[in-house]
A and B are shown apart, each in its own frame.
Chain A
Amino acid sequence: MTATVVTASPPARLVRRRLLGGSAARFGLAVVTVLVLVALAAPLLTQVNGWPPDAFDPAAIDQELAGVPKGMLGGVSGEHWLGVEPVNGRDVFSRIVYGARVSLLVSTLATLVSVLLGTVFGLLAGYLGGWADAVISRTMDLLMSFPSLIFMIALISVMPDGDRMVLLVCVMGGFGWPYIGRIVRGQAISVKHREYVDAARVGGALNGVIVFREIMPNITAPILVYATLAVPANIGTEAALSFLGVGVRPPTASWGQMIQEAMLWYEVDPMYLLIPGTCLFLTVLAFTLLGDALRDAIDPKGAAQ
């Protein structure tokens, strides 16, 4: 009866108010903030607790019990806040803190790569049309038909040398861009047909100028929403790849790798499984909540989703 009229892109102030209005979004933001701070302050934090992430502590594990941590709950103590790793006694807290760095860095950079590739190719396809559109669209279809997990693992495992971090970012970003490419292509096509671009063209503006001045502002909102929701997906993928043994190389710590190591120990030392698992869960959850809230704030019509 009383239809509320919603403008295409609400003012930033309104978005901010809607975004932080919900408790879920505030929770998401709080967790993400803590996580980023922890990742940034990792060297500082490990100085405080006194255990670098790669330092062994033979005193904290029970050699006679095949390397199970001494004490309750996986060796939680004043010395080792979250306990120690079985067998070699590395400090779990320090490894979690450094693992957060890997997780955030890889997932954000991979998202950036896919946003960059997706935007450029999506714009080219949507704006140029014709054969450029055909080639780019077919490539996107093809990439989305790839069994990407098998392929990512296989690809990373046949590259014997090279920085795994860079490889992860490239591979994940390389498989992720078609999703954003499709969104951008659709937006570019619809914006292209609107009158004001014609007006700009009549005014003698160059193609490149039209693209960036007229189309970019219209696609930043969907890109932003997509990117926020792609980060948790990439965090999950990075952890899964690490779990399957093709993540960052040891001794660099990563959460997925810790969970994989816990596979051998979860029956006698469940803490070593639960701690990285919970961290991973909370991180993905927090980013998802934030992304959902952002989407709802920018596009209240999609709120039901």
Chain B
Amino acid sequence: MILSVRDLSVSFGDVRIVDGVSFGVARGRTLGVVGESGSGKSVTALSVLGLHRRATVAGSIELDGEELVGAPAERLRRLRGSAVSMIFQDPLSSLHPFFTVGEQIAEAYRLHRRTGRRVARERAVEMLAEVGIPEPRRRAGEHPHRFSGGMRQRVMIAMALACEPGVLIADEPTTALDVTVQAQILDLIARIQRDRGLAVVLITHDLGVVARMADDVLVMYGGRTVEHAPAREIFKRPLHPYTRALLDSVPGADPGRARLRAIAGAPPSLLAPPPGCRFHPRCPAALDVCATTRPPLAGEPHRVACHLEGADH
């Protein structure tokens, strides 16, 4: 496991956004983190990079054997962009409008590798070529506005991988893109992952993306893990009612079931989360115990936090 997170909790003041989440990713593997917006998946990712300066982080985040929780801010800064990188949902607003893409890619390389301007510049061109941007030398001198949505996300990937990090965190990398472009970007990530033995944490609400990319899947709800299992297991035999509801809401290949089924009710409020299992107010099969007791995460390798399953194990 190059990245290993144990019992991670993130709070802003009294509000706990992430509550006791654990997972690990090995080199060359992909973990899909799935959940609705507000489930805490993005916050989890940003915590790994130490980017929540006002949040209280508890638990353990180990990167290549090094503990990151409680590490000095300067150490975290050095690791960001060199050992762990991140790409974001909207590549246009995530790229600085006033700097050329070449400058933006070279910037982190110069800093982390302590190279000169010329070397970093060459590296930027090389990276643009690697992510499949034609005429990389010319395009490196252009600003983000000259690029299409898919090309911008390629630039983001080039920027994130310039320093050859071991872990890439991709936060909804294809959500803002056209469907055809989505597939290209996913293929690109998969190819680079194969070439470099990269560990990828793929955060998404799109189960189609997960099915295509992930080796393991972590399903989050209201800041907690509800199900964590190998991808094949999850899709074949989803155990948690929430995971099942998510899978049902996907317009599948089955033409008779093309209609999207929405999950009834609204995501839980993090200011006043429901007691017991956080999903129980929306759960079609809730028991009395669900409203009072938090279900433990149990089972191996298919872990699920549900009182309904607890009886079987």
The answer on direct contact between A and B (beta carbons under 8 Å) is: yes
Whether a CB of chain A sits under 8 angstroms from the CB of B38 is yes
Whether a CB of chain B sits under 8 angstroms from the CB of A305 is no
Residues of B191-235 at the interface with A, using a CB-CB cut-off of 8 Å, are: none
> Would you give the shortest CB distance from A209 to chain B, in whole angstroms?
41
> Would you give the shortest CB distance from B198 to chain A, in whole angstroms?
28
Chain A residue numbers with a CB within 8 Å of B76 are none
Chain B residue numbers with a CB within 8 Å of A2 are 38, 270
Whether a CB of chain B sits under 8 angstroms from the CB of A159 is no
Q: How many residues of B contact A (CB 8 A)?
A: 5
Residues of B261-300 at the interface with A, using a CB-CB cut-off of 8 Å, are: 270
Whether a CB of chain B sits under 8 angstroms from the CB of A8 is no
Chain A residue numbers with a CB within 8 Å of B38 are 1-2
Chain B residue numbers with a CB within 8 Å of A1 are 17, 38, 42-43
> Would you give the shortest CB distance from B21 to chain A, in whole angstroms?
16
The complex places the Cα of A135 from the Cα of B42 at a distance, in Å, of 52
The complex places the Cα of A199 from the Cα of B17 at a distance, in Å, of 45
Quick one: closest A residue to B37, CB to CB? Answer: A1
Which bucket holds chain A's interface residue count? under 10
Task: Give per-residue flags for B79-109: 1 if the beta carbon is below 8 A from chain A beta carbons, else 0.
Answer: 0000000000000000000000000000000
Chain A residue numbers with a CB within 8 Å of B17 are 1
The complex places the Cα of A239 from the Cα of B220 at a distance, in Å, of 64
The complex places the Cα of A187 from the Cα of B42 at a distance, in Å, of 37
Chain A residue numbers with a CB within 8 Å of B42 are 1
The complex places the Cα of A2 from the Cα of B39 at a distance, in Å, of 11
The complex places the Cα of A136 from the Cα of B265 at a distance, in Å, of 53
> Would you give the shortest CB distance from A2 to chain B, in whole angstroms?
7
> Would you give the shortest CB distance from B51 to chain A, in whole angstroms?
13
The complex places the Cα of A1 from the Cα of B38 at a distance, in Å, of 7
Chain A residue numbers with a CB within 8 Å of B43 are 1
The complex places the Cα of A1 from the Cα of B55 at a distance, in Å, of 13
Quick one: closest A residue to B17, CB to CB? Answer: A1
> Would you give the shortest CB distance from B53 to chain A, in whole angstroms?
14
> Would you give the shortest CB distance from A175 to chain B, in whole angstroms?
36
The complex places the Cα of A207 from the Cα of B38 at a distance, in Å, of 47
> Would you give the shortest CB distance from B19 to chain A, in whole angstroms?
15
> Would you give the shortest CB distance from B278 to chain A, in whole angstroms?
16
The complex places the Cα of A2 from the Cα of B43 at a distance, in Å, of 12
> Would you give the shortest CB distance from B297 to chain A, in whole angstroms?
24
> Would you give the shortest CB distance from B171 to chain A, in whole angstroms?
13
> Would you give the shortest CB distance from B48 to chain A, in whole angstroms?
17
> Would you give the shortest CB distance from B44 to chain A, in whole angstroms?
12
The complex places the Cα of A2 from the Cα of B17 at a distance, in Å, of 11
Quick one: closest A residue to B42, CB to CB? Answer: A1
The complex places the Cα of A85 from the Cα of B198 at a distance, in Å, of 84
> Would you give the shortest CB distance from A129 to chain B, in whole angstroms?
29
The complex places the Cα of A298 from the Cα of B74 at a distance, in Å, of 42
> Would you give the shortest CB distance from A4 to chain B, in whole angstroms?
13
The complex places the Cα of A1 from the Cα of B270 at a distance, in Å, of 11
The complex places the Cα of A1 from the Cα of B42 at a distance, in Å, of 9
The complex places the Cα of A225 from the Cα of B42 at a distance, in Å, of 38
Residues of A1-26 at the interface with B, using a CB-CB cut-off of 8 Å, are: 1-2
> Would you give the shortest CB distance from B39 to chain A, in whole angstroms?
11
Task: Give per-residue flags for A282-304: 1 if the beta carbon is below 8 A from chain B beta carbons, else 0.
Answer: 00000000000000000000000
Task: Give per-residue flags for B2-17: 1 if the beta carbon is below 8 A from chain A beta carbons, else 0.
Answer: 0000000000000001
Chain A residue numbers with a CB within 8 Å of B270 are 2
The complex places the Cα of A75 from the Cα of B43 at a distance, in Å, of 68
Interface residues of B (CB under 8 A from A): 17, 38, 42-43, 270
Interchain Cβ contacts under 8 Å between A and B, 6 examples: A1-B17, A1-B38, A1-B42, A1-B43, A2-B38, A2-B270
Q: What 6 A-B pairs come out closest when comparing CB atoms?
A: A1-B38, A1-B17, A1-B43, A2-B38, A2-B270, A1-B42
